[in-house]
């Protein structure tokens, strides 16, 4: 069996590591391209048996639909279902229509109407979102009217996020702790993965600029029976019913971005692909074979499948280049990867390999992931192993997995 993975970050490295554990897999290809037809032709020429797409852009552009036209097997949502990530307005409407627990909101296509709403609303903080894909940057939490009006002007007038800002979603601010739950669906059933907690800010104590994610702990320390019940009854089950009622038919991942508040669990967003770095943290906990689970979803047999998980905690810490997410240097030699203990995973993200040597080549350079019986042990182990890896300007957060 030949598998093609689209993308070249830490998430795709983790998917490759897991896919390779299936004895039927002879070859795994990785490809980065924004051209659906180039990827399709490669898959046809190489007779790829299964394609897995890492990030959202190609899904939203309709890669799954194009692959299906030529009978290529691909895992992920079609263009319509990918809109649940590609358009926040579409996603919020879906949530509202199907009674899914989410923050109250209004959508606007005209700046004047949005301004008017803000001037009348007067409750702060308030959340202002560009509806389209904005690489995780299109959400602004405004603390007062001035900031809110500026955000609207930046998005709708100055087009800070291009056409992603043609529609603006203005949303009630929810106070709580965030939780990521990935899941797999064949649109007959949704099987959730273990819960996780991403740490998105660059600095310790959740301070500073937003990043693509600096580390993840699983299970999420705030996950408990009440949270699980809230999630399943108010979010997971109605999402599945909604997919069925709206005749959405696909096999893919649904990543629920959740907020646990004092009065319940709310859905902030859907991502229709695996999370980065959630995937790096979660796949080592998955006992089941990933290719078999994906095959079951594609064959609409998920209801006959059980995903087995290790009864352990996993901690993923990102080693980044100093200066990320702003300016940073590249090309620093990375040493010591070979000294990392065999039961700890190193997934490469922004790394270039030349003559058998590793060099930094991006902001988030690599992920080290460790598992143990307790959260504390997993955290201790991952930081111990990370010390073995060196490169100039190595930056990491020391508080991944910590509860505040
Ligand atoms: P989103 O892309 O919609 O998940 O938003 C990105 C981030 O903005 C989330 O991970 C939250 O940290 C924050 N956020 C989004 N919506 C809300 C909300 N309604 N209340 C509070 N924080 C939010
Ligand atoms: N870790 C958040 C994301 O993948 O969008």
Kindly report the number of other CB atoms within 10 A of residue 32's CB atom: 13
pLDDT at 121: 81
Residues 188 and 282 in one domain: yes
Q: Could you tell me if residue 91 is inside a domain?
A: no
Cβ neighbourhood burial of 62 (10 Å; 0-12, 13-18, 19+): middle
Residue 158: the pLDDT is 86
Q: Is residue 87 part of a domain?
A: no
Within a domain: 318: yes
Most distant CA pair in the chain: distance in Å? Answer: 62
Residue 183 located in a structural domain: yes
For β-strands 313-321 and 394-395, DSSP reports them as antiparallel
Using the mean position of ligand 1's atoms as its centre, give its distance from the Cα of residue 177 in Å.
Answer: 11
Judge if 146 and 180 occupy the same domain.
Answer: no
Judge if the beta carbon of residue 269 lies within 6 A of ligand 2: no
Helix (H) or strand (E) holding 326: none
Q: What is the structure's pLDDT at 258? A: 98
Q: Which of 304, 323, 355 is the last residue of a domain?
A: 304
Whether the CB of 198 sits within 6 Å of ligand 2:
yes
How far, in Å, from the CA of 296 to the mean position of ligand 1?
32
Does any domain span residue 402? no
Check if the beta carbon of residue 397 is closer than 8 Å to that of residue 386.
no
Looking only at the bridges linking them, the beta strands covering 50-53 and 2-6 are parallel
Residue ID of nearest Cα to ligand 2 atom 3: 275
Q: Which of 248, 282, 304 is the last residue of a domain?
A: 304
Whether 171 lines ligand 1, by a CB cut-off of 6 Å, is yes
Is the distance from the beta carbon of residue 103 to the nearest atom of ligand 1 less than 6 Å?
A: yes
- What is the CA(212)–ligand 2 centre distance, in A? 7
CA-based nearest residue to 60, from 38, 76, 81, 82:
82
Specify the length of the chain in residues.
Answer: 404
Clarify whether residues 225 and 319 are in a common domain. no
CATH code, domain with 383: 3.90.600.10
SS3 of 294, please?
Answer: helix
- Say how many domains are in the chain: 4
**Domain identity same for 181 and 163:** no
Q: Which atom of ligand 1 is nearest to the CA of 171?
A: 19
Which protein residue has the closest C-alpha to ligand 1 atom 13?
139
Q: Is residue 83 part of a domain?
A: no
Q: Determine which residue's CA is closest to atom 7 belonging to ligand 1.
A: 139
* CATH code where residue 224 lies: 3.30.470.20
Q: 187 CA distance to ligand 2 centroid (A)?
A: 22
Contacts of 57 (CB under 8 A, 6+ apart): 34, 133
DSSP string, 70-124: TT--EEB--HHHHHHHH-HHHHHHHHHHTT-----EEEESSHHHHHHHHHHH--S
Any atom of ligand 1 within 6 Å of the Cβ of 139: yes
Shared-domain flag, residues 183 and 271: yes
Q: Is the CB of 295 under 6 A from ligand 1?
A: no
Which of these, 276, 271, 242, lies nearest to 258 by C-alpha position?
271
Residues 266, 244, single domain; the answer is yes
Domain boundary among 172, 193, 225: 172
Question: Can you give the pLDDT of all 404 residues of the chain as single tens digits?
Answer: 999 999 999 999 999 999 999 999 999 999 999 999 999 999 999 999 999 999 899 999 999 999 999 999 999 999 999 999 999 999 999 999 999 999 999 999 999 999 999 999 878 999 999 999 988 788 999 999 999 999 999 999 889 888 898 899 999 999 999 999 999 999 999 999 999 999 999 999 999 998 989 999 999 999 999 999 999 999 999 999 999 999 999 999 999 999 999 999 999 999 999 999 999 999 999 999 999 999 999 999 999 999 999 999 999 999 999 999 999 999 999 999 999 999 999 999 999 999 999 999 999 999 999 999 999 999 999 999 999 999 999 999 999 999 87
Instruction: Please report whether residue 228 resides in a domain.
Output: yes
- Pair 278, 184 in one domain: yes
Task: Confirm whether 89 is domain-assigned.
Answer: no
168 and 131 assigned to the same domain: yes
Q: Do 229 and 121 belong together in one domain? A: no
Residue 6: domain span? 2-78
Shared domain for 210 and 153, answered yes or no, is no
183 shares its domain with 286: yes
Q: Of 172, 136, 168, which is closest to residue 152 (Cα–Cα)?
A: 168
Q: Give the distance (Å) from ligand 1 centre to CA of residue 246.
A: 25
CATH code (residue 9)? 3.40.50.20
Do 200 and 298 belong together in one domain? yes
Instruction: List b or e across 255-286, with b for residues whose CB sees 16 or more CB atoms inside 10 angstroms.
Output: bbbbbbeeebbbbbbbbbbbbbbbbbbbbbbb
Residue whose CA is closest, atom 5 of ligand 2?
275
* Ligand 1 atom showing the smallest separation from residue 88 Cα: 3
């Amino acid at each position: 069996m030949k598998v093609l993975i689209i993308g070249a970050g830490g998430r795709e490295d983790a998917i490759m590591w897991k896919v390779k554990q299936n004895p039927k897999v002879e070859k795994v290809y990785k490809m980065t391209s924004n051209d659906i037809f180039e990827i399709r032709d490669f898959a046809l020429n190489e007779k790829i048996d299964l394609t897995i797409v890492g990030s959202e852009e190609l899904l939203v552009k309709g890669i799954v639909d194009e692959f299906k036209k030529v009978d290529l097997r691909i895992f992920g949502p079609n263009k319509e279902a990918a809109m649940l990530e590609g358009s926040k307005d579409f996603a919020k409407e879906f949530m509202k229509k199907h009674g899914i627990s989410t923050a109250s909101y209004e959508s606007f296509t005209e700046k004047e109407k949005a301004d008017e709403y803000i001037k009348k609303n007067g409750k702060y903080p308030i959340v202002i979102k560009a509806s389209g894909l904005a690489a995780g940057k299109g959400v602004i939490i405004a603390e007062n009217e001035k900031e809110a009006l500026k955000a609207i002007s930046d998005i709708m007038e100055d087009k800070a996020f291009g056409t992603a800002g043609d529609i603006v979603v203005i949303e009630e601010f929810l106070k709580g702790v965030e939780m990521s739950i990935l899941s797999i669906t064949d649109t007959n059933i949704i099987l959730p993965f273990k819960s996780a907690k991403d740490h998105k800010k660059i600095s310790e104590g959740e301070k500073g600029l937003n990043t693509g994610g600096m580390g993840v702990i699983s299970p999420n320390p705030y996950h408990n029976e009440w949270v699980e019940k809230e999630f399943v009854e108010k979010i997971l089950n109605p999402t599945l019913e909604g997919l069925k009622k709206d005749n959405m038919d696909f096999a893919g991942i649904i990543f629920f971005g959740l907020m646990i508040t004092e009065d319940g669990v709310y859905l902030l967003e859907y991502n229709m692909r695996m999370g980065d770095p959630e995937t790096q943290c979660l796949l080592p906990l998955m006992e089941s074979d990933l290719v078999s689970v994906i095959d079951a979803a594609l064959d609409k047999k998920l209801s006959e499948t059980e995903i087995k998980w290790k009864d352990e905690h996993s901690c993923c810490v990102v080693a980044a280049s100093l200066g990320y997410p702003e300016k940073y240097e590249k090309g620093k030699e990375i040493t010591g990867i070979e000294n990392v203990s065999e039961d700890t995973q190193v997934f490469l993200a922004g790394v270039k390999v030349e003559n058998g040597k590793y060099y930094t080549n991006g902001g988030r350079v690599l992920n080290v992931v460790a598992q143990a019986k307790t959260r504390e042990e997993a955290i201790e182990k991952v930081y111990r192993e990370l010390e073995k890896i060196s490169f100039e300007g190595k930056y990491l957060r020391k508080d991944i997995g910590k509860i505040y």
